[in-house]
Structure 1
Amino acid sequence: MKKTLMVAALTGVCATAAHAQSSVTLYGLIDAGITYSNNQRVSATSGHSAWQATSGTVNGSRWGLRGAEDLGGGLKAIFTLENGFNIDNGNLGQKGRMFGRQAFVGLASDQYGAVTLGRQYDSVVDYLAPLSNTGTQYGGTIAAHPFDNDNLNNSVRFNNTVKYSSVNYAGFKFGGTYSFSNSTEFANNRAYSVGATYNYAGLNFAAAYLHANNNINNQQFNSATFSGAQAGDYTFGAARQSTFGGGVNYTFGPATAGFVYSQTQLGNAIGISPTQSGTANGINLHGNSVRFQNFEGNIRYALTPALSLAGAYTYTRANFGGGVNPNYNTVALQTDYALSKRTDVYLQGDWQHISSNSANIGPYLNGLTSASATQDQVAVTVGMRHRF
C-alpha cells in the first residue's frame, strides 16, 4: 500500500513538472444594472419612459478560458474561448453561440508576433476602439456611435478568421485579419482588416480599416449557422461595407483626452439590423450613397485611485439614401468607484438628439429595448461590475 501511494505521488510530481510551462486561466466580467430611459417608442408617434434590469450596459457580461503552452525558443501555443451571456436571464449572447465573443487557437512568438485562427475581433476593434469612449470601460455599449455603425463597440465578430498581431516595436504595433467566406464564391461574405497603433510618451495614435462583402440577395448572413465571415450578428444589410478611422489620445497626469474620427460607407444597402435599431422592422437604407461619419471627443480623469470621471461627445453625420440625412449628437457621462481591484460601481448618463431630415427616425441608444419616439432620448444607469 505504501509503495502504491509513493508511485502515485511521484507520478503526480512528474506530471506537474511536465506541465509547469503550461497555463489555463478562467476569467470573466459581470455587468448588471438598472436603467431608466425616456421616450421609448410604443408606436410610430408615441413613447413612454421605462425602467429596465440591464446586462452589459457598459461591458458585455462574459466568461472565458485563456491558455498558453511554452514550446521553447520564445514560441508558445495559445488559445482563447470566450462566452457572452445575459446576466438577467442566463441566455447566451451572440445569437446563442457557446463561445460567441471569441474562439481561436494559434502560435505566438516573442520575436515575430502571433498568428491565430478562429472567430475573432477585427483590426478596428483591436487598434482604434481603445482610443474611443465606447471601446473602453468608461463608456461602453450604451455609448456606441449610432447603431455602432463603425463597430468600435464590437457588435460584429468575424468567423473563419486568420489574424496576425505584431510584437511591440518601440511603441509601434500593427496587425491584420482575413475572414474566409468558406464558400465556392470566394469573395462573397468575406472580410479583411488592417490596423496599427503607436505610443510615444503620453501620446497614443491609432488607425484602422475594415472591409466586408455580403450577398444580400440570399440573406444567408442573417443566420448564425451560415458558414460565412458574418453570420447572424451583422449591423447592416449591405453588399459592401468599408469602415476606416483614426484617433489620438494624450495622457497627462491623472487625465487622458482624445479624439476619434471614423467613417463607414455602404454599397447596395437595404437596412439596419433590427437587433441594432431596437425596432421591430429595423430601418430602411437606400442604395449606394449610405454613409456615417463620426467625430468624437473624449476625456477621463482619475480623482483618486478609486474614483474616476469620464465623458464623451460625438457628432454623427449620416446619409441613409433616399433623401434621408439625419444628424446625431450623443453625450455620455460616467462616474465610477472601485470597491476593490475586481469590483466597481458606476453611474452613467447618456443623451442623444437627432436633427436635420430624420424622416421619423428617432434617436437610439445602443442596448435599449427600442428607439425614441421623439428627437431626444435619455438613459441613466446605476450598475456594478465584477471581474474574476
Structure 2
Amino acid sequence: MKKSLIALAMLGTVAGTAIAQTNVTIYGIADAGISRSNNGVAKTTSLDSGIQSGSRIGFRGTEDLGGGLNAIFLLENGFSIDNGTQGQGGRLFGRQAFVGLQGGFGAVKLGRQYNPIRAALDTLDPFNLGLAGNASFVFNVYGDRADNTINYTTPTFGGFTGQLAYSFGEVAGSNSTGSQIGASGGYVAGPINVLLAYHKQNLATGAVDTGDAKTTLLGGTYNFGVAKAHLAYAWNKNNTAAGVATADSNDLLVGLSAPIGGAGTILASYIRRSDDLVNNRDTNLWALGYTHNLSKRTNLYTSIGKTRNDGLATLNGAASAGRDPSVFNVGVRHKF
C-alpha cells in the first residue's frame, strides 16, 4: 500500500512537471449567417457557415526545450455550423495540421499548412478573405493550404520577414510532379506594410505531369489612421507540359477599411481580372461590407458583392458564361 502511494505521488509530480513545461490552447470560431445569392439565373436563400471566417476548432501548443528552442504544433478542424458536418472534404484536421521547432532562427513546420501567397493576400484584402469581397474569389491562392509541406518562417529583421514553403508531390519516380513551392517577403514600418509573394504548382493528373501554374503577387497597405488603403496586383500564367499557355491573366485589387463609431468597420473593394489569353473573358467584382463588434470576441457582419463577367467569363458561381452573379449576407461570428 505504501509503495502504491509513493508511486502515485511520483506520477503526480511527473505529470505536474509535464503540464508546467507544455502550453496547450483550445480555440475556435463559430460563424453563421443568412445568404441571398443570385447566379445570374436563379436566386437562393440559405443559412451558411463561415461567411466571414471559416468555423473551426483548434489545438495549438508549445513546449520549452531550453536554450530558446520550442517544440510547436497545431491541429485545426473545420466544420459547417449550419449542419454539423466536417469541412475540407471531411478531413479531421483539414484546415491545418503541423508540428515543428521554433527559436531564434525562426520556425520550421511540417504538415498541412497555408500557402505563403494565401497568407499574403489575407493581409492585403480588406475583407481578410471573407464575406462578399473575398479576394480569393478572383485571385489565385492554390487551394489555400497544401499537404506534405515544409515551411520555414524567418524571424523579424528590422521590419522584414519571409517564408519559404515546399510541398512534396509524392509521385513515384518524380520529385517534381504534383509538387508546389511558395515564398513571400514582407516589410512593416509604422503605417506601411508591403508584401511580395510567389507560388508555383506543378500540375498533375494521377501521376502524369500536365504542366504548371504560377502566380506572383505584389501589394501593400497604408494606414492613414482614419482609414487603411489596400492595393494588390498579381500576374498569373499556366502552361501545359509541352509549354503551351493555358492561362495568362492579371488581377488588381483596390480597397479600403475604415473604423467608424468605435465598434464598427466599413469594408470596400474593387477587384478586376484581365484575361490576356482570351478576349471577352475579363471579370469585375465590387463589394461593400460592415462589421460591428458586440464584444472583443463577438461581432455582427453584413456584406454585398456584385460580379460583372464578360461574355466568356464564369467566375464567382455564374450559372453560365457571361452571367453576373451577386450575393448579400448578414450574420454573426463568435471567437473562443
TM > 0.5 between the two?
yes
1:349 aligned partner: 304
Bigger drift between 124-133 and 255-264 goes to 124-133
| Residues 1:208 and 2:197 are matched in the alignment | yes
Separation of aligned partners in 2, 1:172 and 1:146: 25
| Residues 1:27 and 2:15 are matched in the alignment | no
1:15 aligned partner: 15
User: How far 1:254 sits from its partner (Å)?
Assistant: 4.0
Separation of aligned partners in 2, 1:25 and 1:18: 15
User: How far 1:332 sits from its partner (Å)?
Assistant: 1.4
Structure 2 counterpart of 1:58, from 46, 52, 72: 52
| Residues 1:121 and 2:108 are matched in the alignment | no
Q: Tell me the alpha carbon deviations over residues 345-379 of structure 1, each in whole angstroms, 9 at most, x when there is no partner.
A: 11111111113xx23x44525xxxx6468642221
**How is 1:257-336 mapped onto 2 (pairs within 5 angstroms)?**
257-268=229-240, 288-319=245-276, 323-336=278-291
User: How far 1:5 sits from its partner (Å)?
Assistant: 7.4
Separation of aligned partners in 2, 1:182 and 1:363: 31
| Residues 1:364 and 2:312 are matched in the alignment | no
User: How far 1:145 sits from its partner (Å)?
Assistant: 4.2
Structure 2 letter corresponding to 1:340 = S
TM-score, normalised by the number of residues in structure 1: 0.79
Cα RMSD of the aligned pairs, angstroms, is 2.6
Q: Cα gap change, 1:371/1:364 in structure 2, threshold over 3 Å: closer, same or farther?
A: farther
Separation of aligned partners in 1, 2:25 and 2:136: 35
Aligned length: 333
Separation of aligned partners in 2, 1:219 and 1:94: 23
Structure 1 letter corresponding to 2:51 = T
Q: Cα gap change, 1:141/1:382 in structure 2, threshold over 3 Å: closer, same or farther?
A: closer
Q: Tell me the alpha carbon deviations over residues 97-137 of structure 1, each in whole angstroms, 9 at most, x when there is no partner.
A: 1111111100000x110011111111102334311235x1x
Structure 2 letter corresponding to 1:122 = N
Separation of aligned partners in 2, 1:194 and 1:348: 32
Separation of aligned partners in 2, 1:219 and 1:349: 42
Separation of aligned partners in 2, 1:159 and 1:85: 19
Separation of aligned partners in 1, 2:4 and 2:296: 45
Bigger drift between 29-38 and 205-214 goes to 29-38
User: How far 1:186 sits from its partner (Å)?
Assistant: 1.1
Structure 2 letter corresponding to 1:386 = H
TM-score, normalised by the number of residues in structure 2: 0.90
Structure 1 letter corresponding to 2:145 = R
Structure 1 counterpart of 2:164, from 173, 176, 188: 176
Separation of aligned partners in 1, 2:152 and 2:335: 28
2:334 aligned partner: 386
Contact 1:244 1:262 in 2 (8 A): yes
Separation of aligned partners in 1, 2:123 and 2:302: 21
Identity %: 35
User: How far 1:7 sits from its partner (Å)?
Assistant: 7.6
Q: Cα gap change, 1:219/1:313 in structure 2, threshold over 3 Å: closer, same or farther?
A: farther
Query: Which runs of 5 or more structure 1 residues have no equivalent in the other structure?
Result: 42-46, 222-237, 270-286
**How is 1:132-211 mapped onto 2 (pairs within 5 angstroms)?**
132-134=125-127, 136=128, 140=130, 142-145=132-135, 147-151=137-141, 155-183=143-171, 184-211=173-200
Separation of aligned partners in 2, 1:373 and 1:210: 28
Separation of aligned partners in 2, 1:132 and 1:382: 19
Query: Which runs of 5 or more structure 2 residues have no equivalent in the other structure?
Result: none
